[in-house]
Amino acid sequence: MSLRSFQSAANTFLSDRRQFVLGAGSMALLPWLGQCVQGAMKTSASFAKNPFTLGVASGDPQPDGFVLWTRLAPEPLGGGGMPSDTFEVTWELSEDETFNKITQVGKAFATPQLGHSVHVEVQGLPADRWYYYRFQCGDAISPVGRARTTPGYDVMADQLRFAFASCQHYEHGLFTAYEHMAQEDLDLVVHLGDYIYEYPANSKAIRQHIGQEIQSLNDYRNRYALYRTDEHLQAAHALCPWLLVWDDHEFDNNCAGDISEEHDVSPEDFLLRRATAYQVYYEMMPLRSRSMPRGPHMQLYRRIPYGRLANFEMLDTRQYRTEQPNGDGLKPMNDAARDHKNTLLGDKQEHWLMRDLIASQSNWNVLGQQVMMAPADRLEGEKKAYSMDQWPGYTHSRDRLLGFMRDRKVPNPVVLTGDIHNNWVNDLKVNFEDDKDPTMGTEFVCTSISSGGNGQKAEDRAKVLTSENPFVKFFNAERGYVSCTVTPQEWRSDYQVVEFIDKPGAPKITRASYVIESGVPGAKPAGS
C-alpha cells in the first residue's frame, strides 16, 4: 500500500468516531499504523540535546529474556521534540557494567506513531542471570540499566526480593520513597497503578503539573514525561525489571469500563480518550507487543512466573468492571453491592485467572491488582460504610474468587493491592461477616509514594479500623512502599515509610514487618 493510499484509508476509517470506537476491538489499529513509516529513516543522527531524558527501563522478565525500553525525547515536556522521522536505535546487552562482555547487540526503530518509544523483546538468554543494557542513537548514548532473567519455569528458586508500590502524585510531594527503593537489592518492582495523575495544574502544589486536565495525545505524553524526568523514579526503573498494571488515574479518576465518573460524557468520546490514554501508557512502559492496545482496548492482565517459587497474576480491575453500585463513595453494604451482576474483572479475565490458578505449580500465588479486597468498615460504632469503588462494591465477584481459591486449594494465595494511600495487612476470608470463618489468604496493601502529601502514623485511626474489622492486622497512613523477601518456607513484607515528602532528605523507616509461613494462611508480625 502506498503512503497516499494508506492515509486515505486511515482518514476514512477515523472519520466515523463511533465506528472507530466500536470496531477497534476487532482491528489491530496500532500494529497497522506501526507498519507504515512516515518521513525519512534516520540511521545516524546528531543531537543538540540529550534524547534520553526519560531514562531507561526493563520489564516483564522471562527465563530467556525481558523487555528493554526507552524513548527519544530531547524536549520531554514539549511533545518530545523529535521530527516526524523514524530513527534507528542500537541496543547492547552486557554481563558487566563497563560493557566489556557484550552478549547481544541489536537494532530497533523509534517511530513517530508511538512517540519515538522503543520496546525491545530480548530472547535467547540463560535463565536466572543479571545483565546491563544501554541504547545508542546517532551520537547519543543512554544511561545504563540493569535487568535479569527469571529462574526456569520448573526451578524452585531459593529467594526472591521485590518491592511493590502505587500512587505517585507529582504535585503532592517528592518521590523520596523511590530514592530509597533504588538502594535496595531487588529482583523485581511491582507497580499497582496510578503511575500518573490526570488532574490540572495546582498553583499551590509542591511541584506543579503542566496545563489543564489531560485529554489529547500530547497531553498524556507530556504528563508521563514530566513524571519520568524525576531522577529517583528513573533510578528505580534502571535498578531491575518492573511488572506494571494501571488503575484509574492513568486514564480518568474512578472510571468503570466505558462509564465516566462525571456521567456527562458520551461513551464514544470517553472511549476515544481512553484509546489515547492506553496508547501512551503502552508507549511509556516496558511492555511486550502483545500488550499493544487496539483502539480503546488493551489486554494488560498477564502471568509472570518466577520459577516455581512465585506466580504473579497481574490483573486489570478497571477496564472490564461494571459501574460502581450505590453511586460510588462510602456506602452501607446492601443488595446493590451484593448484586451477582457486579464484576471487577469481567468474565473473560476471571475465567483466565481461574484457569491459571488451577494450572499453577508455584509455591506462592500472587495477585497483583489495584483496589482493596477486604471489606473494611470505615466508621466507628453501629453505622457502617464500605468503599463501593473497591471489592466490597462487587461482593459476589470477590466471594466467588476467594471461594474458588479455597476450594481448589490454591497454594499460599497473596493479594498485593495499591490505590488507597494507606498501608494495610488483611486476613482474607470467604465470609468476612463470620469471625470464625477460617483465613484462606493474605492481602498486603501498600501506601502511596506521594499521593496525599506527608501522611501520618494515624495510630488512633488504626485502633478504630482494627477494632471494627477483626481481619485487619495493621494500618498506617505514612508514605512509602513495601519490600518483600520470599523463600519456599516464608514470605516477609517490610513496610518501608518516609515521614515527610514536602522536602528532600527523609530517611527510610521500617514501620512494620509481617510474615506468612508457607502452608499456614494468615500474616503475623515478624518475630512473634
- Nearest Cα to Cα of residue 155 among 63, 279, 18: 63
Per CATH, 41-148 and 160-525 having the same topology is answered no
Neighbours of 124 (CB within 10 A): 8
DSSP string, 348-411: HHHHHHHHHHHH---SEEEEE-SS--S----SSSS---EETTSGGGGHHHHHHHHHHHHHTT-S
Neighbours of 308 (CB within 10 A): 19
At residue 37, what are phi and psi to the nearest 5 degrees? Answer: -90, 115
Break the chain into its structural domains and give their ranges. Answer: 1-36, 41-148, 160-525
The x, y and z cell numbers of residue 492, run together, are 516477609
**pLDDT truncated to tens, each residue of the chain (528 aa)?**
333 333 333 333 333 433 433 343 333 333 333 344 456 777 778 999 999 999 999 999 999 999 999 999 999 999 999 999 999 999 999 999 999 999 999 999 999 999 999 999 999 999 999 999 999 999 999 999 999 999 999 999 999 999 999 999 999 999 999 999 999 999 999 999 999 999 999 999 999 999 999 999 999 999 999 999 999 999 999 999 999 999 999 999 999 999 998 878 888 999 999 999 999 999 999 999 999 999 999 999 999 999 999 999 999 999 999 999 999 999 999 999 999 999 999 999 999 999 999 999 999 999 999 999 999 999 999 999 999 999 999 999 999 999 999 999 999 999 999 999 999 999 999 999 998 999 999 999 999 999 999 999 999 999 999 999 999 999 999 999 999 999 999 999 999 999 999 999 999 999 999 999 999 999 999 998
Instruction: Reply yes or no on domain 41-148 having CATH 2.60.40.380.
Output: yes
Whole-structure pTM value: 0.93
Instruction: Give yes or no for a contact between 416 and 365, defined as CB atoms under 8 angstroms apart.
Output: no
Q: Could you give the CA distance from residue 527 to residue 221 in angstroms, rounded to a whole number?
A: 46
Q: Which residues, in sequence order, are CB contacts of 345 under 8 Å at separation 6+? A: 315, 316, 317, 320, 321, 353, 397, 401
Amino acid at 202: N
Q: Could you give the CA distance from residue 345 to residue 349 in angstroms, rounded to a whole number?
A: 6
Classify domain 160-525 by CATH architecture: 4-Layer Sandwich (3.60)
Q: Could you give the CA distance from residue 485 to residue 333 in angstroms, rounded to a whole number?
A: 36
Instruction: Give yes or no for a contact between 486 and 159, defined as CB atoms under 8 angstroms apart.
Output: yes
